[in-house]
Chain A
Amino acid sequence: MEEYRQPIILLFVAAYMGLCIWVGLWAMRRTKSAGDFFVAGRGLGPWVVSLAVFSSTLSGFGFVGGPGLVYATGLSSIWMAVCSALGFATGYFLIAKRIRMIAEVRNAMSLPDIVFARYGSEAARLLTAGTILLGVLGYLATQILAMGVVLQSILAGTEMFADISLLSSIVISSAVLIFYCVTGGIVASVYTDLVQGIVMIIAGALVVITAASVFDGGFAEATNILLANDGEDIMPFGTLGPMAALSWYFLFGLGLAGQPHVATKMMMNRNLSDNKAILPMTVFGYVIAAMLWVSVGIIMRALVLGDVAAPLAGADEAAPAFLSTYAHPILAGVVFAGLFAAIMSTADGFLNIGAAAIIHDIPKALRGRSLDNELFWARTATIILSLVAAAIALSSGQLIAILGAFGWGTFAAALVPVVLIGLNWKQASARAAVAAISISLLINFAIQIWQIQIPYAMSGGFIAMLTSMILFIAISMFEKEKKLPKDIDRILEL
């Protein structure tokens, strides 16, 4: 079977992409309005929502970048994963119910709609939409680039496509993504997320079993190799040290609820009471899939430091190298499909909220109403957004790096105080919301543009989030509490 490894992997990836296209066609029949396109008419069941939330949280980073970071720096980055139980708890304790309630009474279709409903400020809505758009472009560009690189590496292993270019690989993979996002909107997005989530869980579980069998002595043998060669890497804080790891815990643990592609999905469930089932399914789905991140990184590091395997060309090669050497061809096929699933499930969520920002939120903030024929323009915006992100992915590494800074950290820093605290504290003010978003953008941009090195490798996103939270509460405390609209006031009581 080994000689058919590449065709088998290709078959799994092609089958997965075919499934995405089929879901897109199926979802097109269920998408009749902008409300269906952006929030699935608020009619999704708990299984779909929970898998959509977890799969869009764990992007391609978890399957490629994560193992690469463990290979390069030991367990430092695992703090981004072990905080998931806290991250999802903050999401469901603090915002899931209220976002869903506001969405229903105000017919909200996006997070900026929720921000406007809460603060009554077009400036806050515009800044939220602008932040989302900047973040989406950066994140989307990196996801599209990752899709292209992975597809190129798979196709290059076959005779027929040995010389395929990165451009062609990006065009093929983006075409599939654009097709199902344009035809089926968020309905296609969440149902592909359902498939993608299941594939990711299966891939995560099988890879852990495989990783445990690479050394005769299992993970204990790998641990002993690492302890003999370094030691710090397999201890809780990895090679980067405690402050780097703990700043990530803060940013990822408390910042998850500020991720717009995650928060938006919290307004899509059919019943408020579904949250009771969604939270545990999300937490356990995530942790199983994330085990790939930990296990592959540790095993590859132990193999290289133990002189069992040759050093990798780059840290991001950890997962592909592990799969091509140690995984059964069928498992490699499942995991590569899982990798595409992880990338696409995040990218489709970004396309959705980005399109909403362009055709719904920004026009509403600037001229008081959204565009006519929103469904048509939503589909058009999805295509344009994908093409712009693909162009950024192909054109400039520096631009991606700058926009990439508007990723998790910026969303967390800008939106956690405004959404997470603002939906639980009546005194939170519009002026504070505008200031918090502005300062978080400023700090994140400054750190990226001037390449500011923060001592002890503390995360720049953490610094921005901490500052914006303090500023948000301080400004709100000094302002006189304003009377909220009746519906929002009553929802904040519940």
Chain B
Amino acid sequence: MKIIHVVFVLLLAIAGITVFVWTSEVPNAATGIPHPEVAGLSLGGSGTDKLSAIGDAPYYFQILVILLAGSLLYMGVPAQRRDTLLKVVFAVGLLFALFVWAMLWGGYQSYLTTGETTVVFGFPAPTNWMFWGIWGSFVAFDLFYVFAFRRYFLHPDDEAAFEALVREMKTEENA
């Protein structure tokens, strides 16, 4: 299966969940409720009610988005450079991103159940997973780009091939 087919299947699956959410019943406070006294400010209301009709659809939606993001990034590596090490790095990176997402969602669900949360570094634990985990899980890919730049993203052979192409095009243009 080519990577573009994986991308296509993931997009269709995301579309499936989107259609499910679109056609589901919408609870009253699905997108918050206006603050009774402060104009222009909304309150969240019950998070449990928000999910009553769609359940864990957002959880599976984001899993698919993470896998889609990984697949697209993988497409950016030239086919001839996709070795086993690259596959391992991508697998580990995506597993880490999925782990972060699972921790975030699990922490949020726990808050919805108990109404309590731990405050770490000034913010609730699930929020920290969002601030640092969601951002950080793809910073890992950014750092991989930096450290593996010459091996995967601009291999010296590819750079030389491009320079040869530029020379060739200029020669043809001048001829």
Chain A interface residues toward B at CB < 8 A: 71-75, 78-79, 82-86, 88-90, 92-95, 97, 101, 104-105, 212, 218-220, 222-224, 227, 229-244, 246, 249-250, 253-254, 272-273, 275-277, 279-280, 283, 287, 294, 301, 304-305, 311-312, 314-315, 420-421, 424-425, 427, 454-458, 463, 466-467, 469-470, 473-474, 477, 487, 490-491, 493-494
Residue from A232, A456, A494 within 8 A of B26 (CB atoms): A456
Tell me how many residue pairs across A and B have CB atoms closer than 8 Å: 250
Smallest CB separation, B74 vs chain A (Å)? 8
Q: A311 contacts which chain B residues (CB < 8 A)?
A: 37-41
Taking the closest CB of chain A, its distance from the CB of B108, in whole angstroms, is: 6
- Tell me the bound Cα distance from A71 to B41 in angstroms: 7
A74 surroundings in chain B (CB, below 8 A): 44
Known contacts A279-B145, A474-B8; is A420 also within 8 Å of B72 by CB? yes
- Structural contact, B11 and A473, CB atoms closer than 8 A: yes
User: If the complex has contacts A74-B44, A105-B166, A243-B54, are A92 and B65 also in contact, measured as CB distance less than 8 A?
Assistant: no
Question: Using a CB–CB distance below 8 Å, which chain B residues touch chain A?
Answer: 4, 7-8, 11-12, 14-15, 18, 21-22, 24, 26, 30-32, 37-45, 47, 50-51, 54, 57-58, 61-62, 65, 68-69, 72-73, 75-80, 104, 108, 111, 115, 117, 119, 121-124, 126-127, 129-131, 134-139, 141-143, 145-146, 149, 153-154, 158-159, 161-162, 165-166, 169
Q: Residue among A232, A454, A463 with the most chain B CB within 10 A?
A: A232
Query: B residues within 8 A CB of A294?
Result: 131
The answer to whether A276 and B11 touch (CB under 8 A), given A89-B138, A235-B126, A239-B31, is no
Tell me how far the C-beta of B127 lies from the nearest C-beta in chain A, rounded to whole angstroms. 5
**Cα A74 to Cα B104 with chains together (Å):** 17
Closest to A314 in B: B40
A233 and B35 CA atoms in complex are apart in Å by: 12
Q: List 20 A-B contacts (CB under 8 A).
A: A71-B41, A82-B135, A85-B137, A90-B72, A93-B153, A105-B165, A219-B122, A220-B122, A223-B122, A227-B117, A230-B43, A235-B111, A242-B51, A249-B65, A250-B14, A254-B72, A272-B162, A421-B72, A467-B15, A470-B15
Report the separation of the CA atoms of residues A249 and B65 in the bound assembly, to the nearest whole angstrom: 9
Q: B130 touching A72 by the CB < 8 A rule?
A: no
Docked Cα-Cα span, A312 to B35, in Å, equals 13
A427 to B139, CA, bound (A): 30
With a cutoff of 8 Å between Cβ atoms, the chain A residues found around residue B44 in the complex are 74, 230-233, 235, 238-239, 241
- Nearest chain A CB to B56's CB is how many angstroms away? 10
Residues of A within 8 A of B143 (CB): 280
Whether the Cβ atoms of A93 and B145 lie closer than 8 Å is yes
Cβ A72 vs Cβ B40 within 8 A:
yes
Task: Looking at the assembled complex, report how far the CB atom of A168 sits from the nearest CB atom of chain B, in whole angstroms.
Answer: 28
Interface class of chain A by DSSP: helix
Shortest beta-carbon distance from A472 to chain B in Å: 10
User: Contact at B145–A235, with CB atoms within 8 Å?
Assistant: no
Interface of B is mostly: helix
Q: Is the CB of B43 within 8 A of A239?
A: yes
Contact A490-B161, Cβ < 8 Å, known A219-B123, A236-B126, A241-B50:
yes
A242 to B69, CA, bound (A): 19
Known interface pairs A93-B77, A223-B119; 13 further A-B residue pairs with C-beta atoms within 8 A, sorted by A's residue number? A82-B130, A83-B134, A90-B76, A218-B122, A219-B121, A234-B123, A235-B108, A236-B127, A273-B159, A275-B149, A456-B21, A493-B78, A494-B161
